């Protein structure tokens, strides 16, 4: 029973480590299209073959940034090989995460509604 529990925990630990290491590696990229990236989450497949990396942007164009990150995925994966102590380093797939964008839009709508209510 204990063995079944450790596998998901290991997967989370690996995803967390990938997220931390990738954040450092991305800062070293020279491509201006990348922009100011924040990594929100990493989801690793059970066989560690693939990792979806969800990111948001403080500054930059989401489509250009996603393209630049996916073009740099091989370079970033090689950087992870040197840092991680695991046999299989997953293929990286970067995806722009609209969650923070939606949260900001909702906050703005709530603030506007409150301001309108205060005027009445």
**Alpha carbon distances (Å) from 79 to 14, 76, 92:** 15, 5, 12
pLDDT in tens, the chain (120 residues): 444 444 568 788 989 999 999 999 999 999 999 999 999 999 999 899 999 999 999 888 999 999 999 999 999 999 999 998 778 899 999 999 988 777 777 888 888 888 888 888
Contact 72, 55 (CB under 8 A): no
**Partners of 43 in the beta sheet?**
52
Number of domains the chain is built from:
1
CATH of the domain at 27: 3.30.300.20
Tell me how far apart the alpha carbons of residues 105 and 16 are, in angstroms, rounded to a whole number: 28
* Residues across the chain: 120
Domain residues for the domain of 88 are 2-119
């Amino acid at each position: 029973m204990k063995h079944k529990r450790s596998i998901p925990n290991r997967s989370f630990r690996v995803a967390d480590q990938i997220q931390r290491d990738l954040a450092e590696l991305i800062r070293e990229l020279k491509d201006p299209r990348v922009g100011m990236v924040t990594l929100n989450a990493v989801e690793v497949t059970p066989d560690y073959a693939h990792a979806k990396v969800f990111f948001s942007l403080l500054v930059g164009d989401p489509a250009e940034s996603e393209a630049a990150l996916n073009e740099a995925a091989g370079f970033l994966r090689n950087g992870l090989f040197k840092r991680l102590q695991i046999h299989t380093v997953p293929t990286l797939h970067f995806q722009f995460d609209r969650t923070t964008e939606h949260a900001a839009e909702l906050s703005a709508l709530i603030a506007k509604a409150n301001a309108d209510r205060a005027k009445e």
